[in-house]
Structure 1
């Protein structure tokens, strides 16, 4: 009975890790798209040169 519970617990843990990794992968793709769009559509600065689109 204990080995069966351990196998089920391991399967549940691996399923959770796989789901979390997939969610993080989609989050990384969304951040990359937002970064690329911000890089492409950044506005001109006060001196006429294209400035940074972020404020860091």
Structure 2
């Protein structure tokens, strides 16, 4: 389980924006956000960097 959805909501960021920034499709990003799939550790660190949060805030 990850907290990507919560962090996006806290920051007022849309999933489409995140998808564009990480170079993934909206459906792939949505799967991460809704916890249907988990991003790789590398991807999780990239998401944390893009969202300007510590990776610990995403797990």
Q: What TM-score comes out, normalization by structure 1 length?
A: 0.23
- RCO higher in structure (CA 8 A, sep ≥6): 2
Q: Which has the larger radius of gyration?
A: 1
